[in-house]
Structure 1
């Protein structure tokens, strides 16, 4: 089994299409097919179901994906550690981030990192927090900025950047604006605009209502902050938002609720011993 074969396998597992995977790897399709066949022969089992219409992972293939990613990451860490001894940080750093990024200045952080480590290739991926944390756990991401609710899964470490209560966004002139802080039970009777499941803000809000034994009507589920703001502004509902989002948007009323869901911004990353030199440098820069 060779690292090159594992790299080919992971890319094909992500693309599930030989032509796209070969193009991404900058090799011809026949070379990719030969590499996968050699890996399957070495392991003694098929890793993909192939047909004229689709490519699917077998059960063995699904089991191999996270282990292959971890092996490739370990090899990258080894290479980068040798380079770091010589004072040069190299390699690739894949950073995940959530859409509600008002709580931290990611562009400024990336600028500072690139200035300090110009030989590192930076890659960004945006997704809901639950997907980002899973991406860190399965070695698809080196680290990720997430809205965290509860504990991170095994194999993922977190560094908290900020914690605070989430205000309730209401249309201008809403009756709650004159009654703050508003009891959570009073808020439960309002129609809600909320983010789709998987967003940190949504998870924190759901957990708060569940713990309080209250039910609410989520009338609108969105995956976009501007649309969220527009729907609340038009009086179609209320919704909890991260504190940074409230500070950046002045078109709404922001009301304190008691109790309020907690907004915890954190950096999720693998255990320290599994970090690449580039990831360690980024965490050191964050402080």
Structure 2
């Protein structure tokens, strides 16, 4: 058993499909199948239940999956420690990001600067929801991630608050709420809302705020991306509660000729927070992640 076999095994387990796993690993499928079969023969146990559509882990496979993740994470950390001594001439930086990051952090520009400073470090980036990103950081599959904060600290990872911004009401310029101040959530109860899918983006924060206020709201449109959300708002089909910079950053991309207007809530504000998370107790365990975070501008409040 070697690290490459374990990497092959973990990738197949994550993809639940040999073809997708082979594509991700950039190897031929026959080579991947041989690697898994050799590992099963060495261990004397079937690791996967195979079907024509997908593969699932056996009981033995589930046990190996947890241990293999730990071994691969430890091996990667050992490599990173050596690469750190070599001045980050080699290595890998893996970053996770939520969909709502762009108005607050110019990640492409930061990654470009990092690549210019450390051209030998491979950069990998993935986008996802906060719980999935947190799990990947905790398991060592991501060095650092930018995630929305809601409901307290994230278990098993260290976090640093990076953005705190009050929510505002986004609406069409002709909407009766446009330009108003000191709105209560109760005053929005009769409005039609456009929002993200449940558990996505700012949706959990807004749902919680209305539940705490004991106010029911009507969400007629549920989408997965900011541009669609604000297009619907700008055409007057509903209103949305969002951080102001999210609205400003996307307004120029709207397809509606009228643009967008804002209204503001009465205190206390509903604050949307974003944090940087990593696995180390006081700092990221990856030297590459520490170098990347050093490029970040100061936290925004």
TM-score normalised by the chain length of structure 1: 0.89
**Cα shift at 1:104:** 1.4
Paired residues of 1:89 and 1:278 also in contact (CA < 8 A): no
Paired residues of 2:83 and 2:91 also in contact (CA < 8 A): no
**Cα shift at 1:66:** 4.7
**Cα shift at 1:194:** 0.3
Instruction: Write the distance in 1 (CA, Å) between the matches of 2:35 and 2:234.
Output: 56
Q: What's the counterpart of residue 226 of structure 1?
A: 227
Q: What's the counterpart of residue 21 of structure 2?
A: 21
Note closer, same or farther for the CA distance 1:163–1:60 as it changes in structure 2 (3 Å cut).
farther
Instruction: Write the distance in 2 (CA, Å) between the matches of 1:5 and 1:198.
Output: 36
Note closer, same or farther for the CA distance 1:28–1:264 as it changes in structure 2 (3 Å cut).
same
Q: What's the counterpart of residue 195 of structure 1?
A: 196
CA shift digits 1:1-49 (9 cap, x unpaired)? 4222210111111222223323433444444334323434555543210
Q: What's the counterpart of residue 184 of structure 2?
A: 183
Q: What's the counterpart of residue 48 of structure 1?
A: 48
Q: What's the counterpart of residue 254 of structure 1?
A: 262
Worse-superposed segment, 111-120 or 17-26:
17-26
Q: What's the counterpart of residue 166 of structure 1?
A: 167
Note closer, same or farther for the CA distance 1:192–1:66 as it changes in structure 2 (3 Å cut).
farther
| 3-state SS, counterpart of residue 257 of structure 1 | coil
Of Structure 1 and Structure 2, the greater helix share is in: 1
Paired residues of 1:103 and 1:265 also in contact (CA < 8 A): no
Query: 1:64-213 counterparts in 2 under 5 A?
Result: 64-100=64-100, 101-213=102-214
| 3-state SS, counterpart of residue 164 of structure 1 | strand
Instruction: Write the distance in 2 (CA, Å) between the matches of 1:189 and 1:159.
Output: 37
Note closer, same or farther for the CA distance 1:195–1:83 as it changes in structure 2 (3 Å cut).
same
| 3-state SS, counterpart of residue 272 of structure 2 | strand
**Cα shift at 1:231:** 0.7
Q: What's the counterpart of residue 285 of structure 1?
A: 295
Q: What's the counterpart of residue 237 of structure 2?
A: 236
Verify: 1:267 aligned to 2:253, yes or no.
Answer: no
Instruction: Write the distance in 2 (CA, Å) between the matches of 1:230 and 1:120.
Output: 39
Instruction: Write the distance in 2 (CA, Å) between the matches of 1:66 and 1:107.
Output: 33
Worse-superposed segment, 30-39 or 121-130:
30-39
Instruction: Write the distance in 2 (CA, Å) between the matches of 1:212 and 1:60.
Output: 49
RMSD (Å), alpha carbons: 2.4
Worse-superposed segment, 195-204 or 64-73:
64-73
Note closer, same or farther for the CA distance 1:45–1:284 as it changes in structure 2 (3 Å cut).
farther
Q: What runs of 5+ residues in structure 1 fail to find an aligned partner?
A: none
Instruction: Write the distance in 2 (CA, Å) between the matches of 1:283 and 1:66.
Output: 29
**Cα shift at 1:95:** 1.4
The size of the alignment, in residue pairs, is 287
Worse-superposed segment, 27-36 or 178-187:
27-36
Q: What runs of 5+ residues in structure 2 fail to find an aligned partner?
A: 253-258
TM-score normalised by the chain length of structure 2: 0.85
**Cα shift at 1:207:** 1.4
Instruction: Write the distance in 2 (CA, Å) between the matches of 1:184 and 1:63.
Output: 49
| 3-state SS, counterpart of residue 12 of structure 2 | helix
